[in-house]
Amino acid sequence: MERMIPRFTLDGVGDAEVSVYPFATEDGLGLELTRFLRAESDDVILLVHGLTSASDVFMMPEHRNLASHLLDNGFTDVWALDFRMSGRYPYDTETHRYTLDDIALYDFPAALDVLRRHIGGRRIHVIAHCLGSVSFSMSLFAGKVSGITSLTCNSVSLTPRVPAFSRLKLRFGPAAMEYLVGLPYIDPRFGEAPVLTRGWMVAKTVSLFHNECDVSACHLQSFQWGAGKPAMYEHANLLPVTHKRVADICGASGLHYYRHVRRMVEAGRAVKYDRDNPAHRDLPDDYLVNAADVGTPMLLLAPERNKVFTDSNNHLFRVLEKRRPGRQELAVLPGYGHLDPLIGKNAHLDVFPKIVDFLKRHGG
Ligand SMILES: [Zn+2]
């Protein structure tokens, strides 16, 4: 593929002092925080990506990205986290048995420690996407992170719900890929693999069912996630350049996190993957059990055409209103899918102002 925009570039965020803070989790993974500082501020923003994406979803140069939008709207100290699901690391495509419990337990507490060391007691607002949103919410509701002034969740949080076809994929997909196809991960770049290799054959087979566009990586992402043509976003909401380089934005994913997602979908809420794992004894079996004690105001962004996590946030809003009334807001996003609220060409007009409005009401 011809590369029009360099990977892992910081060029999308201008007029800010950039610094990088590497740190390690208690279970020994190296992670990183990137800070965009225009001026010290009493309201600090932490951005949390989803599975296979990275901090890059918040700073893409081809559109008005969320990091820049926040900096321009008075939130002048923005931090972006790359945690173990990040496409910048090999952690998810090499052999592993991490679950969202590990992330809730190890990644976010370590990141918050680093953040606190640099910003002290200032207010922290978290904006999280996809499985980053699920796992951050788990960490917050399990009491593993605290002092969060507000939390914005895009697409999904503590009650993951998926389309019927995705349930089927979650049930049989990981084993089918590992034992029948013989591949330990799915890569949206399989279309570029040598002819007749397993990856190439997967790409060709998937594309037989997708005639909505001619980008193989787009078809494979619909295979990886959700049920739709395409599943991850509405084509009309993306710039052509974003659509073409979509494998840069969401890369390869391993199969094990799907198993935890399946367990949660079947339970109807975020639950621990393995109740017998002694390393996770401090985590609740059911992450909603102490919901009434969590005071953090939440903004639940609910894309109307969400073909990955359907009406998860609409449902969570109703669940939380019963347990902690008045502490969450629901913002339905008409015409948007799962990921385009962040990477869409008009997200700065349709979506980001809703986030800024929420932050301003809960900030200083
Ligand atoms: Zn497409």
Q: Domain segments of the chain: what residues?
A: 17-161+270-362, 164-254
Distance CA 182, CA 253 (A): 15
CA of 76 to the centre of ligand 1 (A): 35
CATH class of segment(s) 17-161+270-362: alpha beta
Crossing angle (nearest 10°) for helices 164-175 and 256-267 = 140
CA of 206 to the centre of ligand 1 (A): 13
> Contact 119/77 with Cβ under 8 angstroms?
yes
CA of 213 to the centre of ligand 1 (A): 5
Distance CA 55, CA 235 (A): 22
Q: How many other C-beta atoms can be found within 10 angstroms of the C-beta atom of residue 349? A: 10
CA of 201 to the centre of ligand 1 (A): 19
Average pLDDT over residues 248-267: 96
User: Please, which pLDDT band fits residue 9 given cuts at 50, 70 and 90?
Assistant: very high
CA of 134 to the centre of ligand 1 (A): 26
CA of 157 to the centre of ligand 1 (A): 26
Percent of residues, the chain, with pLDDT higher than 70: 99
Average pLDDT over residues 127-150: 98
Q: Residues near 214 by Cβ (< 8 Å), separated by ≥ 6?
A: none
CA of 69 to the centre of ligand 1 (A): 26
Q: Residue 159 has what pLDDT?
A: 98
CA of 280 to the centre of ligand 1 (A): 40
CA of 189 to the centre of ligand 1 (A): 13
CA of 226 to the centre of ligand 1 (A): 14
CA of 335 to the centre of ligand 1 (A): 16
Average pLDDT over residues 121-138: 98
Q: Residue 52 has what pLDDT?
A: 87
Q: Has residue 1 got a pLDDT over 70?
A: no
Where would I find the beta strands (DSSP E) of the chain? 17-24, 30-37, 43-48, 77-82, 123-129, 148-154, 185-186, 253-254, 298-303, 328-333
* Residue environment code for 163-195, b if the CB has 16+ CB neighbours within 10 A, otherwise e: beebeebbeebbeebeeeeebbbbbbbbbebee
CA of 337 to the centre of ligand 1 (A): 13
Strand, helix or coil at 27? coil
CA of 11 to the centre of ligand 1 (A): 25
CA of 338 to the centre of ligand 1 (A): 14
CA of 40 to the centre of ligand 1 (A): 40
CA of 343 to the centre of ligand 1 (A): 14
> Contact 59/65 with Cβ under 8 angstroms?
yes
CA of 188 to the centre of ligand 1 (A): 12
Per-residue pLDDT reduced to its tens digit, 90-120:
999 999 999 999 999 999 999 999 999 999 9
Average pLDDT over residues 281-301: 98
CA of 98 to the centre of ligand 1 (A): 30
Q: Has residue 307 got a pLDDT over 60?
A: yes
Q: Residue 2 has what pLDDT?
A: 64
CA-nearest of 165, 166, 160 to 312 is 160
CA of 329 to the centre of ligand 1 (A): 32
